[in-house]
Amino acid sequence: MKQETLSSVVIGVIKQLRQFRLTELTVRNYEQYFKRLKSRAVENNQIYYTPELGRLFLSKDSVSRTSNEQSHVRYCYCLRCIRLIESYLRDGQIDISATKNKASYEIKSGSLRASLKAFSDAMDCKCLKFNTRDGYERLVKYFLLFIEDKGYASLAELQAGDVVCFIALICQEHYQPTSLGSHLPGLKMFLDSDEASRPFIRELPGKIQKKKAILEVYSDEEMERVAEYIGRADISSRNKAIYTLAIETGLRAVDICGIKLSDIDWEHDRISICQEKTGKPLTMPLRESFGNHIFDYLMNERPHIDSEHLFLRSHAPYAPLSTHAACYRIISEIIADAGIKQNGRISGTRMTRHTMASRQLRKGVPLPVISQSLGHANPNSTMRYISTDNERLAGLALPLPGKGSAR
């Protein structure tokens, strides 16, 4: 490893994080963790990074706010910081590629591990979709880590209030209350699978109220600015294709990542997929706008590896894009670089999906057609997009007929 002081290494790592065009909020978050690492080094009279310092930084005392509360989220951030530093010292370049953090903070109790394994096997039998299963298993693992940190070695040691405390903590540490609601059925399924934990199902909230707000969209002026930026910007064809697909088709991130080479019918100018969320087939026209970007990507950028997926990571290992975060980052960076301010609005494919539906609605496209384009399993789901356009709402509010009106 290079002989650079820890302070010098941190400066180099932060500089490269900004070169990778991470958001300023993300960079500042890393800076806070690096500040903690440097404090740990001062406590141990060290001015250079060593593997021993890394292990101390990942210890329970460093990761936890108190002796009773370990945070898997903070542990992953600390682990990420160590990985950035070690890759910088080893190669002169930070490694920001995706990693699987599930195994980095393991359950020690054999009984609790067995409970998680039994739950995983039960989900196999139910043939749950990957994203559903992954969300359920992650929440259950957080719960088991929580009770293990309380000193429990099995579900038989659960006490009244434990589930309530866990829900309060996980909302503070990792989930927004509304997003937690989609994963709670998994925790309920887990608690119900064991006689010892079944009584504690009553501590789960019956329903987490979702906010019914007017959906946010990008304005036509903002979309024109982004289109102008994409036309002149020196960014990859892959990223242009992903953004244009998202804004013009309203595809979900999971479906964009899941597009296979065989799904594209160049002869008949169409793309046919099976939607991950609904399991329903969806065929859409291969428009020139994103079709040209896809073609340029295939001809000039896509790594020459044997993969059936269209979109691959741009750095080795060249695995398929597989997470919502990948699309979120690509779309968010394009929007930001085009000079569009989010101003607290959502981003990623949720925003492009809302915008696509709203624009079609304003053009007079019938709701059933929009519903089909979005791949809604329930056509009524599309009704919420009416709330994005006040003029359209006014048009739908028909006046009451007066006396003598024709019927």
| 272 beta partners | 283
Q: Is residue 189 part of a domain?
A: yes
Final residue in a domain of this structure, among 203, 235, 265: 203
- Number of alpha helices (DSSP H) and beta strands (DSSP E) in the chain: 18, 3
d(CA 246, CA 188): 34
**DSSP label of 102:** G
Instruction: Tell whether 212 is covered by a domain.
Output: no
The answer to whether residue 352 is domain-embedded is yes
Q: Are 236 and 196 in a shared domain? A: no
Position 382 scores a pLDDT of 64
What's residue 403's pLDDT?
A: 41
| Chain centre to alpha carbon of residue 27 | 18
- Residues recorded for the chain: 407
What distance in Å separates the CA atoms of residue 179 and residue 352, rounded to the nearest whole number?
19
Instruction: Based on the fold, state whether residues 279 and 361 are members of the same structural domain.
Output: yes
Same-domain pairing of 165 and 298? no
Structural domain span for residue 230: 220-395
User: What are the residues facing 274 on neighbouring strands?
Assistant: 281
Quick one: 39 and 121 in the same domain?
no
Closest CA relative to residue 49, chosen from 25, 102, 85: 85
402 within some domain: no
Which of 152, 170, 203 terminates a domain? The answer is: 203
User: Do 151 and 298 sit in the same domain of this protein?
Assistant: no
- 264 domain residue, yes or no: yes
Q: Is the peptide bond between 317 and the residue preceding it cis, with omega within 30 degrees of 0?
A: yes
Are residue 190 and residue 249 in the same domain, yes or no?
no
What is the pLDDT, as a whole number, of residue 392?
46
Rg (CA), the chain: 25
In-domain check, residue 78: yes
Q: Is residue 210 one of the residues assigned to a domain?
A: no
DSSP designation for 214: P
Q: Which of 172, 203, 234 is the last residue of a domain?
A: 203
The tally of domains found in the chain comes to 3
Is residue 279 domain-shared with residue 370, that is, in the same domain? yes
- For residues 183 and 141, the answer to whether their CB atoms sit within 8 Å is no
Q: Go through 6-29 and write b for each residue having 16 or more CB atoms within 10 A of its CB, e for each that does not.
A: beebbebbbebbeeeebeeeeeee
For residue 95, give the nearest of 103, 84, 109 by alpha carbon: 84
Residue 286: closest CA among 300, 302, 298: 298
Q: What pLDDT sits at residue 172?
A: 65
Domain CATH for 335: 1.10.443.10
Q: Tens of pLDDT along the chain (407 residues)?
A: 447 899 999 999 999 988 877 777 788 888 989 999 999 999 989 999 988 888 888 775 555 543 333 455 677 778 888 889 988 888 888 887 655 444 446 788 999 999 999 999 999 888 887 778 888 998 999 999 989 888 899 999 999 888 887 887 777 667 766 678 888 999 999 999 999 999 999 888 876 655 555 667 899 899 999 999 999 999 999 999 999 999 999 999 999 999 999 999 999 999 999 998 888 899 999 999 999 999 999 999 999 999 999 999 988 888 999 777 889 999 999 999 999 998 878 888 989 998 998 888 777 677 677 887 787 766 666 666 655 555 444 444 444 344 444 43
Q: What is the pTM of this model?
A: 0.52
269 in the same domain as 335? yes
Task: Specify the amino acid at residue 49.
Answer: Y
The C-alpha atoms of residue 286 and residue 268 are separated, in whole angstroms, by 8
Is 305 contained in some domain?
yes
